[in-house]
Every structure is written in C-alpha cells, then in structure tokens.
Amino acid sequence: MSPLVVVLVTIGLVAASAFFVATEFSLVSAKRHRIEELAPTSRSARAALRSSSELTLLLAGSQLGITVCTLALGATTKPAVHHALTPLLELTGMPYVAADVVAFVAALVVVTFIHLVVGEMAPKSWAIAHPERSAMLLALPMRGFLTLTRPLLRMLNGQANWLARKAGVEPVDEVQAGQDPDALRHLVEHSAEVGALDPTSYESLTRVLDLRAATMADVLGDDEVTAIPPGATAADAQELARTSGHLRLVVGEAGRYTGVLHVRDTLMAPPGSPVAPHVRALLALDASTPLTEATQLMRVGRHHIALVTGTDGRVGVVTLADLLPRLLALSGEPAQGTEEGRPAV
C-alpha cells in the first residue's frame, strides 16, 4: 500500500478504537437518571438508555471492536512502518538483519504507543469526564454496530456469561442506578479514615445510615396508652381529651384494644350519645416492624395512629406526628416545636 493509504487506514482504525473505548466507559460512568431526563425529547438519549439496559452485550461489542482494530493495526500499520524503517537504518551502515530487528521493534513500539494513547487512554479520559454527553453522542452509531453484529455478540456474550456463572458471578444487563447502603457506609468510613470527612459529619451520616435498620421499638415511648371504654359517651371522650391532651383516643381496655376515636368526631354529637359510631379501625403493629414499612402502612391506610406491641409485652401508641421528631432524635438532630420531642396524639 502507498504511504497515504497506510496513514488513512491507521487514522481510521485508531478513530474506530477510540469510538469503542469511549462508548464503553461513557455508559458505565453515566448517571442513568440524567439521561432519563432528556429521553422524552432526545433520540440519542433513548438510544443510550437502550444500550444501558443490555450492558453486557454492549461491552461485548466494544471489546470486539477494539480487538478487531488492534489486529488490523498489527496487520497493516506495523508492517508498513517496519518496511519503511528498515532501509533507513541500513543507510546508517547497520547490517540488514540488525536493521530488520530494530525496525520491527521500533514499529511495534510506535504502533502500540499510538493505539494505546490516542485510541484508548485519551477517549477513556474524555468519556469519564463527560459521561452523559459522550454516551448520548455515541449511542446511535453504536446501536447500528450492535444491530449488524448482534448474532455474533450474543454467541460470544453467552459463552462469557457461562464462564462468569461457573466462577460464581451472576452477570447483569443494566447499569446500576445507585449505591446500596453498605456501599455508602464503606464510602463514609473510608472518607473519615483519610481525613476527607470531619468527625461530626461522619457521626451524623453514620446515624442516618443506621436508620434503615430502625424498627418501631426504637420510637416506642414509655407513655401509657390513653384509652376509653367501648361504652363511653361523647362527653366522656371530650373530658378525657381535655385531661390527657390527646385528640386521638384508643378504644378498649388493657390487652384488648379494638379501635381509635378522634374527639373531633364527637363534638357535634349529644353529650350522652355513645362513641361507638365514631370508632375507626386501629392499626396494630409488632415492635420489630421496620420504620420504613410502618410509615408506608400508615400513609397508605390513612392511619394516623398505630398500636405497637413490644417483645416484652409492653404496649404503646405511635402516631405519624411522633415519627418525624423521633427519627430526628435517632439521627442526632433535636426535635423542635414539641414538648420533650413528642407532640400531642
């Protein structure tokens, strides 16, 4: 081949290798939620999301493209450089055999350097610095490449996944969207160890991460249950509300609570009328119920109060209004605006 053709082929192969490297690192580094924000109005963003949902296939395509480019450079550019350098070295008086060996080594070093720096390291750094931008910029041409090579990639990817499973690793097809609590805890601990996080911030973040393991037992107070007998009247309920300071009263007796009454519902009723028509269902929870689950049950079921039974038989009530100040207390923040951190029920 003529020197011009060799130069053009080399530029094309190095550019193709850079394309595959940048595609690989951009999708691994990109934040999925940022691409999702642009998906409704951007075809490139939608293509990037499709690629991120079949990550192993895309990585197989990138590796295949890089490998082909490397082999092609070794088959075209390296021999061309080798044959171009050999006669130049002979002109220096070097024997042909020595000149041939030196030219071969020099060609290998030059081609490897160009491919490594220009075709791999530079595009990798660019993709990591601009992950979402590069992922969307390269998504459409990469989808075209995947369409053409999909049968071959599926076969190669299947073999790779089989080997991974034999090694005890389950392959994934999507980019992870976030960090799990254990990974965040490790990051916080490492940051504190290297001095990037001050002790106060470390303690606060650690307490917040500990909240995922908190249960209803952690927010259950020592207050006695304010209960009213099932046969009580509206006047009895209003009087108990005035003396206890609680607007929601548990209906029943110790060990047998059957419902909950909001005193507001009795204000328009005759003083001597029974409270039974105004009693609502009472949500009963075990003290081992996680706070996140309990909050969801109370919110979805529109329960403002829950009866909580501890492992030691202790019974108490927790309201939605209780959860916020007590969660703040668990995380190290003082509860504001309530008496002793507990609002009225």
Rg of the chain over Cα atoms, rounded to whole angstroms, equals 35
pLDDT score of 12: 95
pLDDT score of 326: 59
Report pLDDT digits (tens) over 171-229: 766 555 555 566 677 777 777 777 777 887 777 777 666 666 677 777 776 666 778 88
Report pLDDT digits (tens) over 84-117: 999 999 888 889 999 999 999 999 999 999 999 9
> Of the ranges 2-16, 172-186, 315-329, which one carries the lowest mean pLDDT score?
172-186
Average per-residue pLDDT for the chain: 82
List, in order of start, the domains of the chain with CATH numbers: 3-166 (no CATH), 182-213 (no CATH), 216-341 (3.10.580.10)
Question: Distance between CA 227 and CA 315 in Å, rounded?
Answer: 12
> Of the ranges 222-226, 263-267, 270-274, 302-306, which one carries the lowest mean pLDDT score?
222-226
Asked if pLDDT for residue 10 goes beyond 90, the answer is yes
User: Which is higher by pLDDT, 84 or 164?
Assistant: 84
> Of the ranges 34-48, 57-71, 87-101, 217-231, which one carries the lowest mean pLDDT score?
217-231
b/e per residue 90-111 (b: at least 16 CB within 10 A): eeeebeeeebbebbbeebeeeb
pTM of the predicted structure, to 2 decimals: 0.53
Question: Residue 21 burial by CB count (10 A; 0-12/13-18/19+): exposed, middle or buried?
Answer: buried
pLDDT score of 122: 93
**219 touches 295 (CB < 8 A):** no
Question: Distance between CA 201 and CA 2 in Å, rounded?
Answer: 65
The alpha carbon of residue 344 and the mean position of all alpha carbons in its chain are separated, in whole angstroms, by 38
Question: In the sheet that 248-253 helps form, which strands lie side by side, from edge to edge?
Answer: 227-228, 248-253, 256-262
Question: Distance between CA 102 and CA 328 in Å, rounded?
Answer: 72
